[in-house]
Amino acid sequence: MSASEYRRPIRIPVCLWMRLLPDLHRRGGNGESGAFMFGRPKDPTRKVLSYVCYDDLDPNAYQGGAIAFHGQGHAALWKHCREQGLEVLCDVHTHPGPYVEQSNIDMRHPMLPIVGHIALIVPNFARTAWWSLRTVGVYEYLGNFQWRTHAPGPRRCVRLSLW
């Protein structure tokens, strides 16, 4: 049984999503960018409260136009979680153009290789609709470099919410 089969959906407030998309676009420019999204540990609502962009944790994360998240970034990520009393609910990164399928690099290098972790892929370097996740790729890590794709629809494991 996967994490998505017994957990409530992750809820991303629209106002947070509206701030995140331009932030990702600005930071990535003409290259990929990304962020981790956080909520309270063991909160049954699974509401995203904040995010931190990869380059805030690892200043070298965007060199070369693609994402390369290093050990220092992971150390900073776990420190942030401890200090703020948060847990990672999911991560998000951008792709060029409308393509939101996982690349071979995405599949072989999950940001958090933890079974049940959710990864989102946003098209057009985050120049996309802020009011919908319909064009966003959503993937669940199953372990051993295997992923489940979550198609758009009412049962999707990540949803936008008003608050």
- Measure Cα distances from 86 to 9, 52, 102, 128, 132 in Å: 17, 12, 27, 28, 25
pLDDT surpassing 60 at residue 2: no
The answer to whether the beta carbons of residues 35 and 51 sit under 8 Å apart is: yes
pLDDT band of residue 163 (cuts 50, 70, 90) is confident
Instruction: Give yes or no for residue 65 having a pLDDT over 80.
Output: no
Looking at residue 23, which CATH number applies to its domain?
3.40.140.10
Least confident segment among 40-44, 75-79, 84-88: 40-44
Beta bridge partners of 147: 141
Average pLDDT over residues 98-123: 95
Q: Which domain holds residue 23?
A: 3-161
Q: Mean pLDDT over all residues of the chain? A: 92
- Say how many domains are in the chain: 1
Model pLDDT, residue 6 = 53
